Structure 1
Amino acid sequence: MASVTQSRLPHERPLLTLAGAILLCELVGITGAVFTATGVESWYATLEQPALAPPNWVFGPVWTTLYALMGVAAWLVWREGRGRELRVALGLFGVQLALNFAWSFVFFGQEAILGGLVVILLLLFAIGTTTTAFWRIDRRAALLMVPYLAWVSFATYLNYGFWQLN
């Protein structure tokens, strides 16, 4: 019975479930930002910056937007998907969201540049896999993941640059 209710919920209460999906993603971002804020104020400021590193103020608006897009994408998949395909897609989404949080913890919280590079490479793979799974259910959802994939690709370049320079 729970799976029937779960699959009908985004159709019966679309605005509430959409807001919930976006809020969940934003909360992951806010939780990870605790590590980021601490690191940016101290350790990160001492690092030699790679070329193309944007000013710190850019990251907040970009990540807020990306988390909102991720929430909409997950909601579309939840709304349109069924059965095993839905469980796999949302499971992969959960993995990439956990890796997203883990990167902030490792890079900023632990001040581990190489560890952050390992995590962000796993994250990049997980985003690609999630996007592929989303494509099979709702192409709009997959397209909403593309800016996130692009930004994390850029962040991977930055993380690698920090590792090389520091």
Structure 2
Amino acid sequence: MRLISERDRGSERGPAATYALTAAAVAAAAALGAWAVDADSAWYRELDKPAWQPPPEAFPAVWVPLYASIALAGGRALNRTHRYDRRRLAGSLAANLVLNSAWPWVFFRGRSPRAGVLATLLLDASTAQLIRRVARSDATAAASLAPYAAWCTFATALNVTIARGSAPGAAPAPPLAG
């Protein structure tokens, strides 16, 4: 049985390199996803959206700190994780970022709120798995991902509501009481 050495923990390149790599991966996912968003398109403007949908300027205001938390939590957890678990954690982070950047392509470019629901449900499951993996090595990093999970859940509810309203023959959603 071999003892775990310091080289088995974290990145062999050093902690700063791990943070740089997670930041680059998150930035790439954010840019790729943002490229697909077209909130000014006639198609999107005509969708039946609920009154509780945030204004357009809220989305970048929310996503910038969420992306920063993903990069920081990912780097912190990867730096505190042993080799085998580190590869699995890196894979979970990568899968989550792929799903994160895929949703706008499915919803906006594919013009499919229904397919968007599936994409966001997959993102929700991936986010839960990512938080579980991060928590194994760093509870603080896992806790910092809670707002990301909450926003993804909110986005799922919003996407479901839009999909219901945009289904062929769908009746408009009833107004909120109050």
Match in the other structure for 1:92: 92
> Is contact 1:10–1:18 with CA below 8 Å preserved after alignment?
no
Distance 1:27 1:47 in 2: 28
Structure 1: which amino acid aligns with 2:162?
Answer: F
Partner of 1:27: 28
RMSD: 1.8
Partner of 2:162: 162
Query: Deviation above 4 Å: which 4+ runs of structure 1?
Result: none
The answer to whether the 8 Å contact 2:11/2:18 transfers is: no
Larger radius of gyration: 2
Q: Which runs of 5+ in 1 are unaligned?
A: none
Letter in 2 for 1:52: W
Is the contact made by 2:18 and 2:79 (CA closer than 8 Å) also made in structure 1? Answer: no
User: How many residues matched?
Assistant: 159
Tell me the CA shift for residue 26 of structure 1.
Answer: 2.0
1:90-147 Cα distance to aligned partner (Å, 9 max, x none): 1111111101111111001111111010010011000000100000011111111111
Q: Corresponding residue for 2:12?
A: 8
CA distance in 1 between partners of 2:23 and 2:62 (Å): 15
Q: Deviations over 1:29-65 (max 9, x none)?
A: 11111111xx211121111112410000100121111
Question: How far off its partner does 1:25 sit?
Answer: 0.6
For structure 2, which runs of at least 5 residues remain unmatched after alignment? 1-6, 167-178
**Residues 1:52 and 2:52 are matched in the alignment:** yes
Q: Could you tell me how far apart the structure 2 residues matched to 1:93 and 1:18 are?
A: 13
Amino acid in structure 2 at the alignment position of 1:96? N
Q: Is 1:101 the equivalent of 2:105?
A: no
Matched, 1:138 2:135: no
Mapped contact 1:74–1:141 kept (Cα < 8 A): yes
Q: Greater helix share, 1 or 2?
A: 1
Could you tell me how far apart the structure 1 residues matched to 2:14 and 2:153 are? 31
Contact 1:26 1:64 in 2 (8 A): no
**Counterpart amino acid of residue 65 in structure 2:** T
> In structure 1, what is the equivalent of residue 70 of structure 2?
70
1:7, 1:79 within 8 Å by CA — same for their partners in 2?
yes
Which amino acid in structure 1 is aligned with residue 121 of structure 2?
L
Match in the other structure for 2:176: none
Of 26-35 and 99-108, more deviation after overlay is shown by 26-35
SS at match of 1:7: coil
In 2, the alpha carbon distance for the partners of 1:52 and 1:114 equals 19
